[in-house]
Each structure stands twice: as C-alpha cells, then as structure tokens.
Amino acid sequence: MKILETLKKSPFFGRFPFNIELLRYLGPGFLVTVGFIDPGNWAVNIAGGSEFNYSLLWVITLSTLMLIFLQHMSAHLGIVTGNCLAESCRQWFPRWANWLFGGSIVLACVATALAEFLGAAIGLTILLGLPLVVSVLISAAVILTLVTVQKYDSIEHLIIAFVSIIGFCYLLELFLVKPDWAAALEASVVPRLNSSQIFIAMGMLGAVVMPHNLYLHSEVIQKRNWSASTNERKRQLLRYEFLDTLLAMGAGWAINSAMVIVAAAVFFRHGVLVTDVAQASETLKPLAGDLARLLFAVALVCAGVSSSITACLAGGTVFTGFLGKEIDPQKTWFRLGVLVTAVPAVLLIFFISDAYTGLIWSQVVLSVQLPLTIVPLIILTRSRKVMGEYANGRFENLFMYLCAGIVIVLNALLLLSFFGVKF
C-alpha cells in the first residue's frame, strides 16, 4: 500500500493516462469485446477463411477501426451526459424515430441472443451428447440466472476469463499452422470485394460492429460510477475510457484475425468446405490433436455463455431505456426486457434447420440494423445542445460520417447481390 501511495503522488502517475489508476477503469471495454468474440463470429470467420482464404481479413481490420471509434463515442456520450444511448434517444428524438431505432435494436438483440444461445447449446451437445433442444434449454436457464443475480462488475471478471481462454487458443495456433504471413498481411489492409463475398463480408461486419454493444457500452460506463465533478477529471476519465476501449478492441481484432487465418490454413489450403459448426473444431487440431473437438466445445460454451450475458444485458438496457424506465438488472422492467430478448431467440432456434447458416444470417441481420444505430449516435454526439463543450469536432464528425457511409454502401451492395447483380 505504501508503494501505491508513493506512486500516486509521483508526477508520472498524475499526468500520464496509462498508469496504475487506469487498472481500476479496465473492464467496460472487455465486457463489450466478448460480444464480437462469440459463436456468430466463429461462424463467419471460419466461413470467410475456409471459402475465401485471407482475402476478407481487411473486413476485420476496417470493422475493428470503426468499432474502436464508435464504441468510444458511445462511452463518450454516457460519460458526458450521464445517460446511455437508449435514454438519450428517448430524450432527444421524436416518438416515431424512437419506435424505429428502439424496435430495430430490440430485433438486433434477439438476433444476437439467438446466435449466442445456439453456440452455447452446440458446445454442450458436443461435450455431453445431449439433444440440441435440451442443450438450448439448459444454456438459456444458466445464462438467464447469471444475468438475473449478478452485477456488471462481477460478470466482467467471468467474461474476461472466457475471452482469455478463447484468445489464447487461436493466437497460439498462429505459430502452429504456418500461414502465409505476407499474403495475410496484405489482405488485412488491401480491400477486395466481389458479389460472391459480400454476404460473408457483411456477416463479418455485423459480427464485429455489433449495434447492441454500442448501446450497452454507454450504459456499462454508468454502472462503473464514472462521475466527475470537474472538467479536468471528466477529461481524465475520457482518456481512461479510450485506453480501455483501445486495449479491449485491439485484443478482439487479434483474435478475430487469428480465427480467419487459422481457418484459411486448415480448410482453404486443403480444399475443405465447412458446412457444420462442429466441423470447425478441426481448426484446433494443430494445437490439440485428438482433443481438438473437446477444446472447441469448451471454448464454444464459454463464448456462447459470456456473449449471451452481454446480449441479454443489452436487451434489458435498450428495452428499459427506450421506455423511460430505470435501467437496473434487479428491476422488473429490466428483467422483462431480458425475457423479450431471450425467449424469442430460444424459440427461433427450434425452427432453424441449419445451425451454421443460421449463425451467419444472424450476423448479417446486425449489419443491416447498424445504420439505424450509427445515425442517432452521430446526431447526438455532434450536438452542442446534448454534449455541450464535449460535442464532436470536425475530425470526429468526419469519421462518423465515413463509418455511416461505408456501412450504408455495403448494405446496398448486399441488397444488389440478392437481386443477382454481379460486381
């Protein structure tokens, strides 16, 4: 303790944002990160790597850059206004707009929860040999219990542990599968896209820049009591938040890229077409050998359970926020929002005949909703009436417009591809 007190008094600790105090504020970004290291990501990343080699790695890079900025702006809104994105939308937008924004994000939360519950259930089925229906019900019961009885700060440690397990497996495999590093590096920064790739590319985009996470991040900040009585303290908290976001999203980028690279090396290199989620366990064979299927199942359960928690929390947050109710996991309205998210997701699973395709479609749905989340975030964070002196500057606005433009153009290309247009 004496050492810590001495460090606190030092000029380094007081002036430089990356110091020991920062460790107290790490967590919200990692809680959000698990949302884009989930079964849906596994499905689209393995599909991208197995079908198109390294060529869609740039989507991961671009999506992560967009995500870092958009998540930061969401948290920025929460710190400055004291309201989450859903609460701010309700306060500043007309009723018709809130029905559009709120209704679409609830549907996106359901699509997300569907992928997460399904992933956890598939993992349980592989592990225990249970029928998928039974695994879905068990997963849903466990996840809803965790959401109901835990607080955000307790859940964060569990989630960070899950992410660490998943990340370690895939990052270690990069040294075992011997990828073509030159080709992978080029594909990470050079965009190439055609009509045959757009569906998977949009799945990747929706799996990384997940709209429900933009809503959740601004609320998680509130639960951490990031309050400040002075402008200097507020700016310090904004720096801490950005570093938390940068570290967490950077870890997510590395893990997602590793998934694509490993899938390309294991499947594309040998001409293997992936058609089943369980088949993806082959990606872990270079690391685990005959234990690959077991390790994959454990990781899938971890990813499904942890990301399901964030999906349910996001569902409760947007439901109560848009209705003007108190955002508290112990309150009835929040729990109702969790059920509105979870129950339809579980029921829809029973109508899915192809789990692998269902996971990919769920991520594409997120990319379609994404403009309806980015647009209100732009309007709110650029407004001096809402943000005061912390409103976006020219650079921030320009980058926000660029993010929105990219997402809208890609959605338009996806729509054209459904009508058979080649590009």
Structure tokens at 199: 């569906």
- pLDDT value, residue 157: 66
3-state SS class at 175: coil
Short-list 264, 346, 314, CA closest to 46: 264
* pLDDT by position in tens, the chain (length 423): 443 344 344 333 344 444 555 555 555 555 556 656 678 888 899 999 999 999 999 999 999 999 888 988 888 898 888 888 999 999 999 999 999 999 999 999 999 999 989 988 998 998 888 898 899 999 888 888 877 776 545 655 665 666 667 677 777 778 888 889 999 999 999 999 999 999 999 999 998 888 988 898 777 666 555 555 566 666 666 666 667 767 777 778 888 898 899 889 888 988 888 888 778 777 777 766 777 778 778 778 877 887 888 888 889 999 999 999 988 888 899 999 999 999 999 999 988 888 888 889 999 999 999 999 999 999 999 999 999 888 998 988 999 999 999 999 999 999 999 888 888
What's the sign of the alpha-carbon dihedral 371, 374, 376, 379?
negative
CA dihedral 265, 364, 304, 68 (to 10 degrees): 80
Query: Is the separation of the CB atoms in 205 and 59 below 8 Å?
Result: yes
Short-list 147, 130, 148, 149, CA closest to 138: 130
Angle, in degrees to the nearest 10, between helices 57-81 and 394-418: 130
Distinct helix (H) and strand (E) counts, the chain = 20, 0
* Other residues' Cβ atoms within 10 Å of the Cβ of residue 285: 18
Q: Exposed e or buried b for every residue in 357-391, given b needs 16+ CB within 10 A? A: ebbbbbbbbbbbbbbbbbbbbbbbbbeeebbeebb
**Rounded-to-integer distance, Cα 296 and Cα 288, Å:** 9
**Rounded-to-integer distance, Cα 373 and Cα 393, Å:** 20
Determine the straight-line distance between the first and last CA of the chain, rounded to whole angstroms. 63
Residues in the chain: 423
**Rounded-to-integer distance, Cα 63 and Cα 94, Å:** 30
**Rounded-to-integer distance, Cα 197 and Cα 51, Å:** 9
- pLDDT value, residue 35: 57
- pLDDT value, residue 69: 87
Q: Is the CATH number of domain 21-418 1.20.1740.10?
A: yes
Domain map (residue ranges) of the chain: 21-418
Q: What DSSP line would sit under 189-252, residue for residue?
A: HS----TTTHHHHHHHHHHHS-HHHHHHHHHHHHHTT---SSHHHHHHHHHHHHHHHHHHHHHH
**Rounded-to-integer distance, Cα 104 and Cα 42, Å:** 24
Question: In this structure, what are the phi and psi dihedrals at residue 83, rounded to the nearest 5 degrees?
Answer: -120, 150
